[in-house]
């Protein structure tokens, strides 16, 4: 793992409260083709990679690389037909444009669902995306979805404030 990736992984962990045992976020990823980083973090000691990248298979098995697919999502801001992340099909439930209160930049926010599971995708700027997988276990349900939304938007605002 490169130092830049480690740094962004720690930034994700800090800003999305992934170090807390009751965090509403299960795992998160941030991607920027332009800045050259792809970082993933899981809650606590959990490995976040399995949620964003299929471990089985490889190039040439007929499926596009998941990281490449995430890059496409950043460009398309989550296509209405949905997408497949780490072998899991996600359908877009909602999409909205939000003006960041701090920077004035436009943030694109989409809620994806896979059954009872939810994931927020925020595009903070061109070629910068944040993926926030909501913790669907235990108590919390829709409260976790709402709280994760706030954390995802705060992190996207942080990225925008940093010039991404």
**Residue 76 pLDDT exceeds 90:** no
pLDDT tens sequence across 120-136 = 988 876 667 888 999 87
Q: What is the pTM of this model?
A: 0.82
Q: Look at residue 61 and tell me whether its pLDDT is greater than 60.
A: no
Average pLDDT value over all residues in the chain: 77
pLDDT digits (tens, 9 = 90+) for 10-39: 888 888 889 887 889 999 988 876 766 678
More confident: 148 or 62 = 148
Annotate 38-97 with DSSP letters as a single string: EEEEESTT---HHHHS--S--TTSSSPPHHHHHHHHHHHTS-TT-EEETTEEEEEEEEEE
Q: In the chain, what are the domains?
A: 3-161 (3.30.450.30)
pLDDT at 63 over 50: no
């Amino acid at each position: 793992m490169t130092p830049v990736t480690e740094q962004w992984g720690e930034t994700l962990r800090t800003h999305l409260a992934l170090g807390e045992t009751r965090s509403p976020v299960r795992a998160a990823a941030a991607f920027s083709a332009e800045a050259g980083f792809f970082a993933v973090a899981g809650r606590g000691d959990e490995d976040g990679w399995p949620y964003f990248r299929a471990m089985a298979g490889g190039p040439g098995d007929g499926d596009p690389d998941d990281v490449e697919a995430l890059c496409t999502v950043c460009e398309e801001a989550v296509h209405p037909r949905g997408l497949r992340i780490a072998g899991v099909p996600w359908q877009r439930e909602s999409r909205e444009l939000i003006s960041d209160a701090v920077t004035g930049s436009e943030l694109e926010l989409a809620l994806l669902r896979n059954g009872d599971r939810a994931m927020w995708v925020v595009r903070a700027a061109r070629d910068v995306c944040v993926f926030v997988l909501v913790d669907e276990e235990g108590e919390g349900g829709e409260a976790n979805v709402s709280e994760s939304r706030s954390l995802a938007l705060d992190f996207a605002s942080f990225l925008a404030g940093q010039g991404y």
